[in-house]
Amino acid sequence: MSLPASSLSALVLRHVEAGVCTLTLNNGDRFNALSEDMLTALLVTLKEIAQTPEVRVVVLAAAGKAFCAGHDLRQMQANPSQQYYQHLFQQCTKLMLAIQQLPQPVIARVHGIATAAGCQLVAMCDLAVAEENAKFAVSGINVGLFCSTPAVALSRNISRKQAMEMLLTGDFIDASTALQRGLVNRVVPFAMLDTCIADLTASIVSKPVAAIAMGKQLFYKQLEMGVDAAYQLAGQTMACNMMEDSAQKGVQAFIEKRHSKQ
């Protein structure tokens, strides 16, 4: 599974500035397909980032004409065995969970198309900003393959009937529809894409790192719980959060500011 460092850095470019790590999928000629090597490169890179406290936010971008066209169908066709396919989809699942379990928030920077597992990638990111001409689909059904693993992420972002329509038809939706349905947070002209993301990352970087990490972990855990259990976990998390020095100082500063205005 291991790849030479040079191969990893070639497939996933990494740039860190002011606490923001931009990861760029760098196989534009293949529409940044999630090949075995691309999955491995992303997994290794995210594992390293999880252990890098200087990184406060991750932006997942892509080179070329598309964000990500999903799995590499040529590679899949060249390995026609159930064992291979199970391993491939397990690797993809590990990547999706690594994004969700990463302490740092992850923002998808979407241009062009995001299809099948590429759409899944957008759905698994904590936030997503798309340029106005971006398009999204879970189009496996068009080649006889129901997008079962993308369905997990998609159905946790948009309504069941909207998700099923996309899964059953394989049809594209445009960026404005993706925004309306909740698959992305913002849609902007391509020229404004980086500015919009910079505003988001600046806002996140300005917040206490411990609170962001605790909050992200809590958010996804509670979604899978009943209401009672969710509130129990949320209460415990807030109590731990309040013990953080940044929270104590923040609350004190708020009280003093309000008192000064009275």
User: What is the number of structural domains in the chain?
Assistant: 2
Element (H, E) at 44: helix 36-50
Do 20 and 100 have their domain in common?
yes
CATH number at residue 17: 3.90.226.10
> Given this model, what pLDDT does residue 1 score?
41
> Given this model, what pLDDT does residue 259 score?
58
What does each C-alpha distance from 102 to 56, 113, 195, 224 come to in angstroms? 11, 25, 24, 18
Do 188 and 213 have their domain in common?
no
Whats the size of the chain, residue-wise? 262
- Which DSSP state fits 58? E
> Given this model, what pLDDT does residue 12 score?
97
Do 217 and 132 have their domain in common?
no
Do 147 and 173 have their domain in common?
yes
Do 171 and 234 have their domain in common?
no
> What is the extent of the structural domain holding 153?
5-205
Do 213 and 197 have their domain in common?
no
Strand order in the sheet with 173-174: 113-115, 135-137, 173-174
pLDDT digits (tens, 9 = 90+) for 64-92: 999 999 999 999 999 999 999 999 999 99
Do 84 and 176 have their domain in common?
yes
Token pair in block for residue 99: 């994004």
> Given this model, what pLDDT does residue 4 score?
57
Do 185 and 130 have their domain in common?
yes
Question: Each residue's pLDDT tens digit in the chain (262 positions)?
Answer: 445 555 667 999 999 999 999 999 999 999 999 999 999 999 999 999 999 999 999 999 999 999 999 999 999 999 999 999 999 999 999 999 999 999 999 999 999 999 999 999 999 999 999 999 999 999 999 999 999 999 999 999 999 999 999 999 999 999 999 999 999 999 999 999 999 999 999 999 999 999 999 999 999 999 998 999 989 988 888 888 878 888 888 788 888 776 566 5
Burial environment of residue 187 by CB neighbours within 10 A (0 to 12, 13 to 18, 19 or more):
buried
Do 94 and 173 have their domain in common?
yes
